[in-house]
Amino acid sequence: MKKLTLCTLAGMIAYFLLLAPGVSAQEKGPHISFQTMIHDFGTIKEEAGVVTFDFKFRNTGDQPLILQRVVSSCGCTTPSWSKEPVPPGGEGYIRVAYNPRNRPGVFHKSVTVYTNAQKNPVVLRISGKVIPRPKTVKDIYPYEIEGLRLKTNHLAFTRMYKDQKKTIKDEIINTTDKDMTIEFVRVPAFLEIKVEPPVLKPNQKGVIIATYDASKKNDWGFVVDRVWVKINGQQPANARLAVSANIQEDFSKMTPEEKEKAPHITFKEKVYDFGKAPQRDQVEHEFVFTNTGKSDLHIHKVKASCGCTAVSPKEKVIKPGESSSIKAIFHTGAYKGRVTKSITVITDDPDSPTTVLRIMGIVEPPSPEKK
């Protein structure tokens, strides 16, 4: 009776040992088992820099485990890992580094692990909260001209109507130990620009005030100009500001009756595929269109996406019911492979004020024997 009881007890112990986590029989094939699949960094400071954590694992299978690739959910998270095959019973790691620079606040990121195991892929997760670093003068005013620091070197007026005036401001600071007089030269007629106060004391803040008059700008669509800055009568080489605007016609005040009588541009085709063309050649095509509206159609502007494409509208004013065309010439130059170039057409059609045409095809380089 004692022998039977001992045998039964031994069998039960062996059975439960086989089922117990971490001491079970080896999995068939490779198998990856992590100590943890989630890590919370807690609260970290941005100025402290990159933080890392090692996700440790064991191969609980009976064949070598291979980590094929590890992919992070964003560029701020960088993984590194064991490159050699991990034998049965062996251990490895996946180190996850998180860069908090310019990323204040709570974060949740993931890393996807691809292996030769059956349960594939595996997702690891990190989280935490970044306390932002104190802002320096360089952080607040990242652009610098001879000690004059600016929040931006681009005065962007964004969308403007043709009869509109708009004023924007750019904060500045004198970071030198001397008074600074600021002037602007080569200022176009449509722009008024000044600094208040006109003389900045050392470490004094000021503001650039710029006013754009679109009615004086003889152009349409997205346009960019530049003005040069003089500091204490001198003009440094890099002392210039970009000034941009997207000038459009204002159709918001049109009545339904006016829209009914408005012009309308209808293209026969908006995309031309030239197939194949050799390098240092040119492709020509005419985009035909018709004014299907009830009043004269005005072509405000036709602009190609690059200097390699020349465009010329046949006429600038098209009567109702009449047709015209826009000739495009694409110079293949040293391009090779698939190429797409665009042509922007701006008109007074309230339904389609901007139309984009495209020329595309394959540019073939010369064969080796012809070089």
pLDDT digits 0-9 by tens, 163-196: 999 999 999 999 999 999 999 999 999 999 999 9
pLDDT digits 0-9 by tens, 102-147: 899 999 999 999 999 988 899 999 999 999 989 899 999 999 999 9
Cβ–Cβ contacts within 10 Å for residue 136, how many?
8
16: pLDDT confidence band, cut at 50, 70 and 90? very low
* Segment 352-366 mean pLDDT: 95
pLDDT for res 25: 52
Query: Hey, where are the domains in the chain?
Result: 26-131, 137-248, 256-368
pLDDT at 6 over 80: no
pLDDT at 93 over 70: yes
pLDDT for res 370: 54
3-state secondary structure of 55: strand
pLDDT for res 19: 38
Which range, of 18-22, 260-264, 291-295, 358-362, averages the lowest pLDDT? Answer: 18-22
26: pLDDT confidence band, cut at 50, 70 and 90? low
Q: Do domains 26-131 and 137-248 have the same CATH topology?
A: yes
* Segment 19-29 mean pLDDT: 55
- Average per-residue pLDDT in the chain? 90
pLDDT for res 247: 96
Q: Domain 26-131: give its CATH architecture.
A: Sandwich (2.60)
Domain 256-368 in this protein, CATH class:
mainly beta
pLDDT for res 65: 93
pLDDT at 12 over 70: no
Length reported for the chain: 371
Residue 106: which residues within 8 A CB-CB, separation 6 or more?
127, 128, 129, 130
Residue 126: which residues within 8 A CB-CB, separation 6 or more?
38, 39, 40, 41, 53, 77, 96, 98, 107, 108, 109, 110, 111
pLDDT at 20 over 90: no
pLDDT at 161 over 60: yes
74: pLDDT confidence band, cut at 50, 70 and 90? confident
pLDDT at 322 over 70: yes
CA separation for the pair 50, 292 (Å, rounded): 62
pLDDT for res 24: 45
pLDDT digits 0-9 by tens, 212-250: 999 999 999 999 999 999 999 999 888 999 999 999 999
Q: What is the DSSP letter of 82?
A: -
**Residue type at position 295:** S
Question: Which tokens hold the place of 192?
Answer: 């008024």
Cα-flanking dihedrals φ and ψ of residue 96, to 5°?
Answer: -115, 120
Of 82 and 101, the one with more pLDDT: 101
* Segment 341-350 mean pLDDT: 96
pLDDT at 9 over 80: no
Percent of the chain with pLDDT over 70: 92
Q: Which fold has domain 137-248?
A: Immunoglobulin-like (2.60.40)
pLDDT for res 28: 84
* Segment 29-48 mean pLDDT: 94
CA separation for the pair 104, 107 (Å, rounded): 8
* Segment 357-367 mean pLDDT: 93
Nearest to 131 by CA among 245, 46, 211: 46
pLDDT digits 0-9 by tens, 198-215: 999 999 999 999 999 999
3-state secondary structure of 320: coil
Burial of 165 (0-12, 13-18, 19+ CB in 10 A): middle
pLDDT for res 3: 44
In a 13 Å sphere around the CA of 54, the CA atoms on its Cβ side amount to 8
Residue 279: which residues within 8 A CB-CB, separation 6 or more?
332, 333, 334, 335, 336, 363, 364, 365, 366
CA separation for the pair 331, 309 (Å, rounded): 6
Of 223 and 1, the one with more pLDDT: 223
Rg of the chain over all Cα atoms, to the nearest angstrom: 34
Nearest to 79 by CA among 105, 49, 65, 99: 99
Question: Which tokens hold the place of 197?
Answer: 């106060």
pLDDT for res 76: 87
In a 13 Å sphere around the CA of 228, the CA atoms on its Cβ side amount to 9
Q: What is the DSSP letter of 65?
A: B
* Segment 2-11 mean pLDDT: 44
**Cβ(255)–Cβ(274) below 8 Å:** no
3-state secondary structure of 361: strand
CA separation for the pair 110, 122 (Å, rounded): 10
